[in-house]
Amino acid sequence: MSASPEILQLAMRSLPHGQEFRFVDRMVSLTPGVRGVGEYHVRGDEYFLRGHLPGEPIMPGVLMAEAAAQVAGMVAQEDPANPRWPRLKLTALRAVKILGAVRPGDTLRIEAVVTGVLGDMIQAEVSASVSGTKVLSTEVTLSGVDPAKSA
C-alpha cells in the first residue's frame, strides 16, 4: 500500500540536499521503510548538462546513482519501525551498471527497495528507467546515526 500524498510530500522534505543537488522532483509511491518510486525530469537547463558532452547532453551516470541514493534515503527515513534516520549519507555503491542515457526531456523513474538494516547501515536495491527502459541498476548503502544510539 502506498503512502498518502501528505507522506509523499513529507518524504520529499526529508531530503537534506539543496535544490541544486536534488535529483528527485517527486515521489510517486512510497511504502515507508520498504520501497518507493521517485521521478526526476531532466529539463535541459541543468548546470551539469552544459559541460557533459556538449552537443549531445546526457545526465552523468554518477548523478543517476545519486538520484538512486536519494530515493533509497527517503524510503528508509519514512520507516515507521524506526525513528527518522537523521541526515543519511551515501556510504557505498555496489554493482553499478549504467545501461543507457538520460537526455533533456526524459523523466528518470527511480525504484528503490530496502533490503536490509543493520545498526546504522541501510542497504537498498535500486533501478532507474526512462520510458520503461532500464538505464541504471545498483546496490546502495546509506549510513546515519543509529536511532538506538542517539537516545
Whole-angstrom distance, CA of residue 151 vs CA of residue 13: 23
| Grid cell in block for residue 81 | 519501525
Whole-angstrom distance, CA of residue 39 vs CA of residue 30: 12
Distance linking the first and last C-alpha atoms of the chain: 30
The verdict on whether 17 is a catalytic residue reads: no
Whole-angstrom distance, CA of residue 101 vs CA of residue 108: 10
Q: Are 124 and 142 in contact (CB under 8 A)?
A: yes
Neighbours of 20 (CB within 10 A): 8
Of 7, 12, 52, 137, the active-site residue reads 52
Q: Are 120 and 146 in contact (CB under 8 A)?
A: yes
Catalytic residues, which ones? 52
